[in-house]
Structures are given as structure tokens and as C-alpha cells.
Amino acid sequence: MLKKFIDHSRTVFPTFSLFLHYYYNKHQTTHSQTGFTVHPIIEQAVTVFFVSLKTLKNMNNMKKNLLIASLLLSGAASAQFTQSNEPATGVSQAMYELEETADPYASFTGSGQTWDYSSYFGLDNSPRTFSVTTAAADPQGADFPGAAKAVSIEGFITTFISSDASSRNSQGFSYDAGAPFGIVNVVLDIDDELLMNYPMALTNSLVDVYAGTAFTSSGDFPTTGNNACTVDGSGTLILNGSTTHTGVLRYKLIDTASANTGILGIVDIIRTQYEYYELGANQDMPLLIHSTLSIVVGGGAPTETVAVLSYVSPDGFLSVNTNELAGVTVYPNPATETISVKGLTADAQLTLVDAQGKTVASKAVEAGFASMDINTVTAGVYFLHVTSNDQTTVERVVVR
């Protein structure tokens, strides 16, 4: 039996096997004369052998665990922004505009988040196009000679960018600011804006400063700015009743450009933008964009434009007259017993509609102040249509 064990040890520990053979051959006569089953030295050697064998097994298990951990970590590392998964030049997609009251989920950060946009309605208009072209092909591209790509949200803003293996940078942006400035091209020809350090994964962040000139129909103004960018969340994005994406990364950008316009004072252009991606899917195009653009002139009240865009059609659409009622305010929101409306300049019709488009309450009211009882309305999300003189405004109302 011992001989068999010694022979087997050759395949595991060759040096140890020679040691066993030496003592076995030298002491086997002594064994028969003394009656010992195993010489003490051999017994000790066998003990060492089995301890070593157990240690080797534990080491192998440890190696397997390290290999599995390595594979998991390499999989996690792939969920990151790089130059190779930027949206390619020439791609475009239709993006449906959701109601601007859609929650930006600013506090939903970190891993394991769920961002649910399925309850929000779309606006009853044509979808906007999100496109990536060469900078030279864009109508404003001549003002951005250092840019390689123009990333455009139709009717909203175009950002001019370039990139290499280590970073993505912006050479400026273009948008229609309305009177008195018209088309504004903020050209960062002094110091461009850093948008991403590659690779950029969850919790990675950066800050940067930039400088250039704002070219407008009212004149050209020196411009400086700063930004803060981060990949602030990962998780699940729900877009409608049949479209859910997992493994989504959210990129957040806040930038403030300040132009010294002289007579009008400092004009601040503030953008807060959330972009959702499932890298490797949808041509690496954004699944959803929630962007707020604020213009502050001379320290006054901000003028905000909100664009919430989804690459899939929402489950329902609001049908709203684009000539909305001015000066009408609906409150409180959330509401529990009544909904009040002030600012009506003529008689009006109040209609409360649920998410399926069913009317749950309605009331004809007179000019001035009006209210509607909602005591019997079930808690949930509703849309209050206020119609007067063939004009309609729609407010999203939460009933508790």
C-alpha cells in the first residue's frame, strides 16, 4: 500500500518521491522486525505530502476565483465611453419630444438606478432629428475650423467636437437665441472645452474652463466659461410600455458660458444635459436626452428652453394648440381637493384627462379666478386642459 502511494507521488512531487523511496528501501526490513506499520520519518513525510496536496488544491481554487473576478472586472470595464464608441459621422435618428415637465431624475445617481419615462406623453409634432455630420457639412461649420464633427439636435443646439484616443473636446456650439441676438455661434478658439477623458466610466468626472468669442447678429462678444462633466449613473431606462434598456450609462454635462455684451451686461448661457446610452446598442446613439438651456441677461430672470427627446415613440401624445394661453397659472401641484386656475382673461373650459386620454372631470368657468373639485378623483398623474377663445394650454397635474 505504501509502495503504491510512493509510486503515485512521482507524478505529483518528483523530488518528494525520491525522498520516500530512499527511506522506504532503507527501513523496510526494520519495519518487519519491529512490527511498525510505517517508519516515523515516512509517516511524517506522508503527512507533509497530504498537507501540500491540500494547499495546492486551495491555490488552484484561489486562481479560479481570481480568474472569474478578472473576467467580471473586464466586463465592467467595457461599460465606459471611449473614442471607439462615439456616435459615428453620418448616423442620424428621429427623436420624439416628450412633455417638458418630464423629470430629469437629477438625484437618481450611482449604480442600480431605474429611470422611468414611460408615463410621460409626447408632444403632437414631428420628431426632431439627432444627427452627426462632419463639421464642414453643417451650415455653421465654417465658424468652427478646429472641429471634426457636428452633433445636432434639430431646432435646439449643435455642438462641434473633435476627439482622439484620450479625450473628446468641444470647439463650441451654435443655437438660435431669438431677438435681439439671432443665431449665436460660441466659438472656443482660445481654449476649447473638455467633455470627456477616455476611457470614462461610472463615477468618473472632470471640470474644465474654456474661452472664445460669441458671434451674434448684434455683435461679437468675448466669452469665458466652465463646465462639470460626469458619468453619474448606471441602471435601467424605461421609455415606454414595451421598451426597456438595461446596462445603461448616464452622462451629465453642466456648462456655463458668460459673454460680456457691453450695454446689456453679462449674458449667461447655462446648459444642463443628461444623455443615456446603452453602449454597443442603437449605433451608440443616445436613447434619451434631457436638456435645459437657460439664458440670463444682465442678471435677470432666466429664460428656459427644455428638450426631452426619446429615440422611441411614447405610448401617448398630447394634442395641444401651439398658440397656448399666456399668463395662466394652475396650482397647487400636487393637488388633493381642488385645482385652481388664475389669469383667465375670458370664459374657459377646464378638462382633466387621465394618462389613457379619458376625461375624469370637467367644468365651465368664468374669466378671472376658477377652481375645480377633484375630491372624487383617484390619486395619479393627470393633464388639465384649459381652453379659452380657441386656445389651449395643458398642465401636468399630480393628484394625491
The reply to whether 330 falls in a domain is yes
The reply to whether 347 falls in a domain is yes
Mean pLDDT computed over 122-146: 90
CATH of the domain at 353: 2.60.40.3080
On the question of pLDDT at 291 being above 90, the answer is yes
**Domain ends where: 245, 275, 310?**
310
**Domain of 7, in residue numbers:** 2-77
User: Are 377 and 297 in the same domain?
Assistant: no
Count of residues making up the chain: 400
Residue 252, CA distances (Å) to 176, 207, 319 in order: 23, 12, 31
Number of domains in the chain: 3
Nearest Cα to Cα of residue 98 among 114, 71, 119, 69: 119
Helices 14-34 and 2-9: angle between axes, nearest 10 degrees: 170
User: Are 90 and 73 in the same domain?
Assistant: no
Instruction: Summarize pLDDT for 39-82 with one digit per residue, the tens.
Output: 555 455 445 445 455 554 555 555 445 444 443 333 444 589 99
Helices 2-9 and 40-77: angle between axes, nearest 10 degrees: 40
User: Are 95 and 71 in the same domain?
Assistant: no
Cis peptide before 87 (omega within 30 of 0): no
User: Are 178 and 255 in the same domain?
Assistant: yes
User: Are 279 and 156 in the same domain?
Assistant: yes
Q: Quick one: the chain helix, strand, coil %, rounded to 5?
A: 20, 50, 30
Across 166-180, 266-280, 294-308, 377-391, least confident range:
377-391
User: Are 137 and 165 in the same domain?
Assistant: yes
Q: Give the per-residue pLDDT at 356.
A: 63
Instruction: Summarize pLDDT for 336-347 with one digit per residue, the tens.
Output: 889 999 888 889
The reply to whether 316 falls in a domain is no
The reply to whether 273 falls in a domain is yes
Q: Give the per-residue pLDDT at 177.
A: 75
The reply to whether 56 falls in a domain is yes
Q: What is the pTM of this model?
A: 0.66
386 in Cβ contact with 393 (< 8 Å): yes
User: Are 287 and 218 in the same domain?
Assistant: yes
User: Are 65 and 95 in the same domain?
Assistant: no
Q: Give the per-residue pLDDT at 54.
A: 56
User: Are 252 and 365 in the same domain?
Assistant: no
The reply to whether 315 falls in a domain is no
User: Are 127 and 194 in the same domain?
Assistant: yes
Q: Give the per-residue pLDDT at 229.
A: 98
The reply to whether 317 falls in a domain is no
The reply to whether 152 falls in a domain is yes
**Domain ends where: 77, 106, 137?**
77
pLDDT band at 373 (very low <50, low <70, confident <90, very high): very high
**Domain ends where: 44, 60, 77?**
77
User: Are 231 and 349 in the same domain?
Assistant: no
Task: Report the amino acid identity of residue 94.
Answer: A
User: Are 9 and 38 in the same domain?
Assistant: yes
> Where does residue 235 rank: exposed (0-12), middle (13-18), buried (19+ CB within 10 A)?
buried
